[in-house]
Amino acid sequence: MASGEGLERFLDHLDTPDTNRKGHTMMAKQILSEPIETYPVYKATDLTEGGDQARIQLGDQLYTLRITRAGKLILTK
C-alpha cells in the first residue's frame, strides 16, 4: 500500500461517526495535509562521541547535553 493510501484511510477513519470528534477531525486533516518540514537529525550518541555528555555552544553560551542511565536527554546551561 502506498503511503498516501494509508493517510487517506486514516483520514477516512476520522470521519466515521464512531470517532465523534468532528472538530478534531478538521484540525487533524489540516495538520496532516500541510507539507512536512525536514530538520537535521543527530544521534545523541554521535554528539557525545559514544560517551554520556557533550558540550553544545550557542552564540556565547555553553550548554551541557547529558544522556541519563534511563536513556533520557538533559540539556543544562
Domain residue spans of the chain:
3-33, 44-76
Q: Digits of tens for pLDDT over the chain (77 positions)?
A: 455 566 666 666 655 555 555 566 666 666 666 667 788 999 999 999 999 999 999 999 999 999 999 999 999 99
**C-alpha span between 51 and 75 (Å, rounded):** 15
* Beta carbons within 8 Å of 75's beta carbon, 6+ residues apart: 56, 63, 64, 65, 66
Predicted local confidence at residue 74, as pLDDT: 97
pTM above 0.75, yes or no: no
DSSP state of 69: T
Q: Compute φ and ψ for 66, nearest 5 degrees.
A: -125, 135
